[in-house]
Structure 1
């Protein structure tokens, strides 16, 4: 589907989008070219999805024919419900099968699929589960277990059933997957004989994380198919995949310290490939913008992610200029080059809305600011100037770190972390769920700093980037 075709569907069949266009432009314009499409106003969750009744956002202005309701996690305090059509569920199954068949050859080595994602009505875990269940029924070679984010149950299943299958595929979030594997290892499970592969969602991860996980799993640190992620959103689904070529590129940049030389940025972004015939992506002022045909069609929808799109040949040329041949890396590390598709790349550098991702929860600057200002003890100890980041500890665990400026003469309260956690949980259902399931591991780490140390010129830099 082209950009123009999607627009015509949304403009003719989605009541909310017609009203949105009329409010913004005074009429519903005709779109016959990409230039016309690029002139359309951007939509977002705040000014579009939250501004109209759910039925009016749907195709044909009705929930009829939308066979299930899922919800995203509600980083702003209230969940958003996303009706789904059967086509969306079928797409997930096809997407999952392509990965399992091409990279893991499950028709030759049947797999245990372990879903350690949020279940219930949470969209990522539910769609993954339904897609895998469909594959198990229709194609075989796959046996599904769904402990959700109950890591004790997940570890028991991995220990009990992992040895009964030629391989195990773990679907999870990076911090949960790491903890689960460490728990299994502590129980004496020999992960190296289970042929475990990770399929991760929710947030990015470093190459140091990949090294650590591969050591736990018994693979070489630079293995290219054992730890794989993608780019997507609960709002518009999967939009890009971390192919073996993408991993080879990240490994070459990481191992050769070439990130800034090749990509022009100091920190290694997420690198995925996407199919422009299936995923309509743009970049507007540094932000990734997605358009998607689904039960709630989205036209020029702001993702909230900082990123860029790089054509295949341009990426390969940049790498060649730096002396890097990712196809050679693929061959040297046991991957087939005949399966490389000349698809463009989507690079994701982080959130653009003033926040970080922690255990798949979006934590916004405004939520931390409100928490520091609302709790009387925290407000008495800190000025309200702070810097937020998601950091890695020495053992590569994720930690939500807040460097907070002390008031003159004040000391940091001993119970500052749980106080801040309680206030954050009030503001974010995402963080509340993470804290409930992870306990003290999800407590923020408050690092007191001297007055004035967080200022760049006359402004506070609230994100440590």
Structure 2
């Protein structure tokens, strides 16, 4: 690609982004469904976004050397892929069978790495870094997800907003990506000002106290456990978070609705559906979907009705629930694995990211909730009704290797977290724990949970009993396998309380794992 066409690509994408209001953009994308359905009347299931993903496939098949090679290896002629049913026969790509087998440049269009202007890094579960090149235009697509949150949830189109980036800066994907996207919103006319303390807690607290009062609201963007730590440290130092109209944008971890309520109480949320939002983001392709006031309203209902959640999601734990734009990121589900296709510095077609979950279209979700007498749209109308858009939903569970199996019941960290987030307990624990199945001297199995106490707190028998009873109550309420598979005499977990940063279970500076085998 020559310099001139690269420049044109940037100018036209930026002009579109600046000149297309969010409402019109989402309307246009919803409208593509009607057009694509008309193009292919013989197909019963021509999902929203299918026309765009077919066109992405043909573009990638002709312009990306690695994908050409991949198709040749599987003896696939790209011209034979004409319908959505054809598309669904394409082999899945993964890190192992595709990304790690080709030089970085060959994964980019025309084999030209220089067509990307930025490279981010993800460490992945193996610890070996993976490089993810992208171009300015890729970030603009993702900026629309941030715009959805800032517009629909925070009304930041009309409020002077300080966006404080609390993700780690440097080569890691979160910090720089988020910073850039927030700045594009400012260039589009949003009164948003960005500051980048990164994950430096002292600097975040200083910034909020010295600058926060000059704005109508302050948005903290970071990983949920880190933001909670910042908030709790601030409270310990006498910071009155309520003064700053705090909003939160999070990514990277599944959290419970009890957690959202707890953190919301501490900073003074007025309405939980509008004061925070989580992103489903990956290093591989930026942000795939985002929480909306509607998805949060639904998730809060499901958190209070575990039997409805189990029926909908098929598991005894609550996944992250977001809405997505199928024209930008197209999802499919195969054997409960989420696959997505999307354009990027490295375009991906039917990529298996190893997340488990599912997709639910907008109407199906409304019909399901109606069976339980719940209408989230009416609920949100009481708060002005912003953020109700008929986009499909995708739900994502944390990686399943973090479960433990006990008497054949899968026990999820999310079940235990809710026990520690109850009002009578949450003030003297950090929320971190390690769960494992052990055997006693008689070879009888028991469920062991080691819980980290908050700084300066001490354990005693009364606290241990309170935690035991709270976790057991939530396991029985949330996890039907636990309630039905585990004999009553083995249901009581054995709790140990240890001080903050205990070197064996909670070493400082190491990514925490909630389970041990």
* 1:108-257 pair list within 5 angstroms: 108-139=158-189, 141-219=191-269, 223-257=272-306
Aligned-partner SS, 1:75: coil
Deviation at 1:267, TM superposition (A): 1.9
- 1:418–1:443 Cα contact (<8 Å) kept: no
Across the aligned residues of Structure 1 and Structure 2, the Cα RMSD in angstroms comes to 3.0
| Equivalent in the alignment of 1:21 | 71
Contact 1:417 1:444 (C-alpha < 8 Å) held by counterparts: no
Could you tell me whether the CA contact under 8 Å between 1:90 and 1:131 is conserved in 2?
Answer: yes
Give the secondary-structure state (helix, strand or coil) at the position aligned to 2:359: strand
1:403 to 403, 421, 436: 436
Structure 2 counterpart of 1:275, from 314, 325, 335: 325
1:344-391 CA-partner distances (Å, limit 9, x unpaired): 111112225x348xxxxxxxx9xxxxxxxxxxxxxxxxxxxx998475
Counterpart CA distance in 2 for 1:242 and 1:87 is: 23
Contact 1:388 1:400 in 2 (8 A): no
Report the structure, 1 or 2, having the larger helix content: 2
| Contact 2:331/2:338, CA 8 A, preserved across alignment | yes
**Secondary structure of 2:398's match?**
strand
Listed as ranges, the gaps of 5+ residues in structure 2 are: 1-50, 405-409, 444-449, 451-497
Change (3 A) 1:398 1:335: farther
Q: Which fold has the larger relative contact order, with Cα–Cα distance below 8 Å and residues 6 or more apart in sequence?
A: 1
What's the TM-score once normalised by structure 2's chain length? 0.71
CA distance in 1: counterparts of 2:515 and 2:174, whole angstroms: 30
Matching of residues 16-415 of structure 1 within 5 Å: 16-25=66-75, 30-139=80-189, 141-219=191-269, 223-257=272-306, 258-332=308-382, 334-336=383-385, 339-352=387-400, 354-355=401-402, 389=413, 392=417, 393=420, 394-395=425-426, 397-399=430-432, 401-403=434-436, 405=438
State the alpha-carbon separation in 1 of the partners of residues 412 and 58 from structure 2: 42
What is the TM-score when the length of structure 1 is the normalising length?
0.78
Deviation at 1:135, TM superposition (A): 3.0
Contact 2:63–2:110 (CA<8 Å) still a contact in 1? yes
1:375 counterpart residue number: none
Query: Is the Cα contact below 8 Å between 1:159 and 1:184 reproduced in 2?
Result: no
Moved more, 40-49 or 159-168: 159-168
d(CA) in 2 for partners of 1:108 and 1:10? 40
For residues 379-410 of structure 1, give each alpha carbon's deviation from its aligned partner in whole angstroms, at most 9, with x where no partner exists. xxxxxxx9984753443744252416469699
Distance in 2 (alpha carbons) for counterparts of 1:154 and 1:190: 14
Residues matched between the structures, number: 398
Instruction: For structure 1, list consecutive stretches of 5 or more residues without a partner in the other structure.
Output: 357-364, 366-385, 423-434, 448-461
